[in-house]
Amino acid sequence: MSPIQILKLVGFATGATLHLYIAWLIWNRKLGSREKLTQPVQLITILNICLGVWFLGNLFITFHELLLGPERLTFLLRAWDTLAMTGVALLPAALLHAHVGFWASLDNYRTLKPRAVRLIGAALYLPMVFLPFAIYKINTGVYKPYFLKLRVLLIPYSIWYLLVMISSALIDWSIKDRLNPRALRERAFFKRLAVLLVLNGLFEFVVVALLRTGPNDVPWVLFLLSSLFPIFFVAYHVYRYKLVDVAVKDSLVYAMFALVFIAVYTYGVRRLDQFLVDRFEITPGVVEVILILGMVALASPLVRVIDRMVHRLFTREIGLYRDVVRQVSSGAEGFGELAALVRYTEETIRRGLPSAGLPKR
């Protein structure tokens, strides 16, 4: 496999896994608690499904081209193209809709009512009137990758994509300013997410609208991989801070490391073995076996290092929460009025968790 094919496989598999896994976590929590999901969480779930479908469609296309080639069973390629194109077509509206819903929920919908959020969402999805035309183009005529068949729609889509990324970034910045000044962690999260979204929008516009690259060109593949940065950033906060009240399991983290391990083996070890065989006439396979044994020997120490890092990651947070709970529990007995207890609890949490993000008074 070429480096681009390996990048595609690793990037698309990672993107599909992360987005669909987070969507599944949210849905599974709903089934477990039997509680209705809030509007922002529903919109975040839809956003992750759109992104997951986009990466999944591209992953199927890459597998198909590697296993069967681009000329065989083209009806399946058309299906994978339709899947990927539908996901990316819905992405801008889903992203901006999720941002609007989250922004409106910050003040309990006093500024923007849930019905207004739904109406704004309906307006955002109006560009989808071109979706049937795009599906028709993909599934008729001589087969070409969807990226080449839909050239006529790419520039308007790129403009729409860039405007959505900038609008979403502005909403993130507004959310940052609406949070409590002491919520340092949350404010930093939205500020950095805003920057990532703008950079992603600009990169897409340059790659698609200005450079007009194809599906197998390096800039296009790099853009697809760069679109993983925002979700890695969000997934980190989901993993560490339980964003949207779900928890990413350690098994997924180890699975991501396993994916990197496989990629290193497929490209790095085999290429190094072939290079040494060609250069020094070493028996084929000997260096590969030695390097594989070395990687296996390093696997256990690497897991221990990861475990220590994860432990340090959570130790301080767990200690802070335990201390705050202990202070609240020990001081609660002295209060006879609920209002006084609430004030004491708020003040204790503010002192113990300076980035807790309690609302302003």
Check residue 358 and give its pLDDT: 44
Return the domain boundaries, the chain: 3-248, 254-352
For residues 48 and 19, what is the distance between their CA atoms, to the nearest angstrom? 5
The token duo for 271 is: 């290429």
Query: Within 13 Å of residue 229, how many CA atoms lie on the same side as its CB?
Result: 17
Contacts of 25 (CB under 8 A, 6+ apart): 246, 247, 248
Residue 102 binned pLDDT confidence (cut-offs 50, 70, 90)? confident
The token duo for 231 is: 């979700």
Q: What would the pLDDT profile of 293-316 be if each residue is shown by its tens digit?
A: 666 666 667 666 656 665 555 555
As a whole number, the mean pLDDT across the chain is 75
Gyration radius of the chain's alpha carbons = 24
Check residue 248 and give its pLDDT: 47
Predicted structure pTM score: 0.69
The token duo for 141 is: 């005529």
3 state SS of 325: helix
Using the predicted structure, report yes or no on whether residue 321 has a pLDDT greater than 60.
no
Contacts of 57 (CB under 8 A, 6+ apart): 80, 81, 82, 83, 84, 85, 86, 87
4: nearest Cα among 267, 271, 276: 267
Determine what percent of the chain is predicted with pLDDT higher than 70: 65
Residue 97 binned pLDDT confidence (cut-offs 50, 70, 90)? very high
Under 8 Å between Cβ of 171 and 99: yes
Fold adopted by 3-248:
Rhopdopsin 7-helix transmembrane proteins (1.20.1070)
Check residue 263 and give its pLDDT: 60
Q: What would the pLDDT profile of 239-291 be if each residue is shown by its tens digit?
A: 555 554 444 455 555 555 555 565 656 666 667 777 777 777 766 666 666 76
Q: How far is CA 251 from the centre of its chain?
A: 17
Q: How is 14-82 classified by DSSP, letter by letter? A: HHHHHHHHHHHHHHHHHHHHTPPPPHHHHHHHHHHHHHHHHHHHHHHHHHHHHHT-TTS-HHHHHHHHH
Using the predicted structure, report yes or no on whether residue 98 has a pLDDT greater than 60.
yes
Q: What would the pLDDT profile of 108-132 be if each residue is shown by its tens digit?
A: 888 888 899 999 999 999 989 999 9
Residue 292 binned pLDDT confidence (cut-offs 50, 70, 90)? low
Under 8 Å between Cβ of 99 and 172: yes
Check residue 323 and give its pLDDT: 57
Ramachandran assignment for 141, one of left (phi > 0), alpha (psi -120 to 50 degrees), beta (any other): left
Check residue 217 and give its pLDDT: 78
For residues 254 and 238, what is the distance between their CA atoms, to the nearest angstrom? 16
Check residue 33 and give its pLDDT: 57
Using the predicted structure, report yes or no on whether residue 82 has a pLDDT greater than 90.
yes
Higher pLDDT among residues 106 and 82, named by residue: 82
Helix, strand, coil shares of the chain as percentages rounded to 5? 80, 0, 20
Check residue 208 and give its pLDDT: 85
88: nearest Cα among 122, 40, 56: 56
Q: What would the pLDDT profile of 196-234 be if each residue is shown by its tens digit?
A: 899 989 998 988 888 887 777 788 878 877 777 777 777
